[in-house]
């Protein structure tokens, strides 16, 4: 049993472990052993693993165990204290015409095409990347946690998708992709803001936002949500606060 309110610790086994080029920091070697839970995680077990620094991909969880680098740190936002900045409020207004739906993770041709288009433009395709429906299903439909798909529509067109894991007191932004044709809308920012408010309505405390690294421009935006904490050497500490934007 864990110390987290008597929640039974999930049994996991390593199903993949390899060294590869880091997609966040050029020149670094990444190692993220993937562990498969023996049974689906309960909401309370999800809370426990997120608290300890786990990330989720498909039916597995992992923590970074890179041999020469410890730059990546898990990030979480304190929902109870969060308020959007001026620029974030502008993003909310800019996307007021979007329709948002919730449902189970789903496989479709338009999702696979949008996912690949997003990754190609963002430079996230690697030699190990899957581009086919099977890869999409393994990555974004299958899940070892209680997961909801958040769908963002402009009229009847799907323009963004999030995978949101829901625990008892915590939510985990497991993945997000959007249509690069609408990059001017800041859909990634909008999804975070919308989902924080959704989780606030559910009475949750923490919104986990994946990994942050100081020297990675693609991850640095996560410092813009306040207040937030980062897991540093096994302890959650307040994240550095960027100056509030002037408007």
Angle, CA 123 vertex, CA 93 and CA 35 arms, to 5°: 95
Q: Model-level pTM?
A: 0.91
Cα–Cα distance measured from residue 14 to residue 66, given in angstroms and rounded to the nearest whole number: 16
Give the pLDDT mean for 229-246. Answer: 77
Condensed to tens digits (0 to 9), the pLDDT of residues 10-21 reads 999 999 999 999
Winning range, highest mean pLDDT, from 58-72, 117-131, 206-220: 58-72
DSSP, collapsed to helix, strand or coil, labels residue 158 as: strand
121 pLDDT tier (thresholds 50, 70, 90):
confident
**Mean pLDDT, the chain, integer:** 92
Residue 194's pLDDT is what? 98
Q: Is-contact 22 42, C-beta < 8 A?
A: no
Place of tokens 């100056």: 243
Q: Is-contact 53 74, C-beta < 8 A?
A: yes
């Amino acid at each position: 049993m864990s110390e987290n309110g008597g929640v039974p610790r999930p049994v996991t086994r390593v199903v993949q472990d390899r060294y590869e080029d880091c997609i966040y920091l050029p020149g670094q070697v990444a190692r993220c052993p993937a562990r498969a839970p023996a049974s689906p995680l309960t909401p309370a077990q999800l809370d426990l693993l997120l608290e300890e620094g786990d990330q989720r991909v498909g039916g597995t969880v992992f923590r970074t165990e890179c041999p020469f680098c410890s730059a990546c740190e898990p990030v979480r936002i304190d929902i109870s204290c969060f308020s959007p900045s001026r620029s974030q409020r502008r993003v909310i207004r800019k996307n007021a015409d979007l329709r948002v739906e919730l449902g189970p993770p789903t496989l479709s041709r338009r999702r696979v095409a949008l996912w690949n288009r997003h990754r190609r433009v963002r430079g996230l395709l690697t030699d190990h990347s899957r581009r086919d429906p099977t890869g999409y299903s393994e990555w974004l439909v299958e899940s070892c946690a209680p997961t909801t798909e958040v769908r963002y529509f402009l009229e009847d067109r799907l323009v963004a998708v999030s995978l949101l894991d829901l625990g008892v007191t915590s939510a985990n932004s497991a993945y997000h992709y959007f249509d690069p044709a609408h990059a001017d809308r800041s859909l990634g920012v909008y999804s975070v803001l919308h989902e924080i408010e959704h989780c606030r309505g559910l009475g949750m405390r923490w919104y986990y936002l994946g990994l942050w690294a100081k020297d990675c421009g693609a991850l640095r935006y996560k410092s813009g949500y306040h207040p937030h904490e980062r897991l540093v050497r096994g302890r959650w500490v307040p994240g550095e606060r960027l100056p509030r934007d002037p408007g």
